[in-house]
């Protein structure tokens, strides 16, 4: 991947600021977050501040294991009705796309000049960790989301076949090998050659 010339120039000068963004495309709603102090608009989406605690690193293993990434959010629940991550259980979130982007900017002007890197993931698992009880007897939660890369490797590890179209995308556009998988448990299917 090559960088935009303006970004490359900043990198070579060592004068760069970085803004990390995360976008969730949940069914029926897109929502974004960043680690700054005020709402930030990028590509038409308003990224909400102060909730995304850590972009975390990637965990990988040898063999057929999938490289995963874990991200953490604070202050669940929240009073903001537009904060979809605080009410993620209301969405059919498994396998929803997540885009983590790192923007490059000029530290003197705060102008965004381009993208350093962008990664696409899918939601694998959501976990809640309880916080301590405060003076009012209330407790907040920290939300941890495990991400996996999209495509064949992630589906293979979860044993999920989501559609014939996705199987053909991953393989051959004319492949019909998995056509009857969804019905074999309830409808007898004949495979191979018939005898006599």
Cα–Cα separations (whole angstroms), residue 49 to 8, 53, 71, 176: 28, 10, 15, 46
Q: What is the mean pLDDT of residues 107-115?
A: 80
**Look-up: residue for tokens 């007898």?**
188
| pLDDT (0 to 100) of residue 45 | 92
Span 42-46, average pLDDT: 90
Of the two residues 109 and 30, the one the predictor is more confident about is: 30
Q: Which residues, other chains included, contact 185 with Cβ-Cβ below 8 Å and sequence gap of 6+?
A: none
Q: Do strands 29-34 and 45-48 pair parallel, antiparallel, or not at all (unpaired)?
A: parallel
What percentage of the chain exceeds 70 in pLDDT? 62
SS3 category, 45? strand
Determine the pLDDT at residue 67.
67
pLDDT at position 113: 82
- Partner residues linked to 122 by β-bridges: 97, 148
Which range among 55-64, 106-115, 134-143 has the greatest average pLDDT? 106-115
User: Is there a contact between 96 and 122 (Cβ–Cβ < 8 Å)?
Assistant: yes
Average pLDDT of the residues in 75-101 = 83
Residue-level pLDDT at 53: 62
Tell me what the mean pLDDT of segment 8-21 comes to.
Answer: 81
pTM of the complete model: 0.67
- Judged by DSSP in three states, 142 sits in strand
Q: Which of 27, 46, 140, 149 is closest to 89 using CA atoms?
A: 27
23 band by pLDDT with thresholds 50, 70 and 90 = very high
The 10s digit of each residue's pLDDT in 117-176 is 888 888 888 888 776 666 776 666 778 888 888 865 445 544 455 566 666 666 667 877
Please, which pLDDT band fits residue 24 given cuts at 50, 70 and 90?
very high
């Amino acid at each position: 991947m090559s960088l935009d010339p303006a970004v490359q120039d900043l990198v070579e000068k060592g004068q760069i600021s970085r803004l990390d963004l995360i976008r969730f495309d949940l069914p029926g709603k897109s929502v974004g977050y960043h680690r700054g102090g005020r709402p930030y608009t990028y590509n038409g989406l308003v990224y909400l501040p102060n909730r995304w605690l850590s972009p975390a690193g990637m965990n990988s293993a040898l063999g057929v294991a999938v490289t995963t990434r874990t991200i953490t959010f604070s202050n669940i629940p929240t009073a903001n009705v537009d904060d979809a991550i605080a009410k993620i259980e209301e969405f059919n979130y498994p396998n929803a796309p997540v885009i983590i982007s790192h923007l490059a900017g000029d530290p003197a002007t705060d102008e965004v000049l381009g993208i350093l890197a962008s990664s696409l993931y899918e939601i694998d698992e959501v976990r809640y960790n309880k916080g301590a009880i405060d003076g009012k007897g209330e407790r907040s939660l920290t939300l941890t989301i495990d991400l996996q890369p999209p495509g064949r490797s992630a589906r293979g590890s979860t044993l999920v076949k989501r559609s014939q179209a996705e199987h053909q995308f991953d393989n051959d556009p004319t492949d019909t090998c998995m056509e009857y998988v969804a019905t074999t448990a309830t409808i007898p299917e004949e495979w191979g050659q018939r005898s006599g």
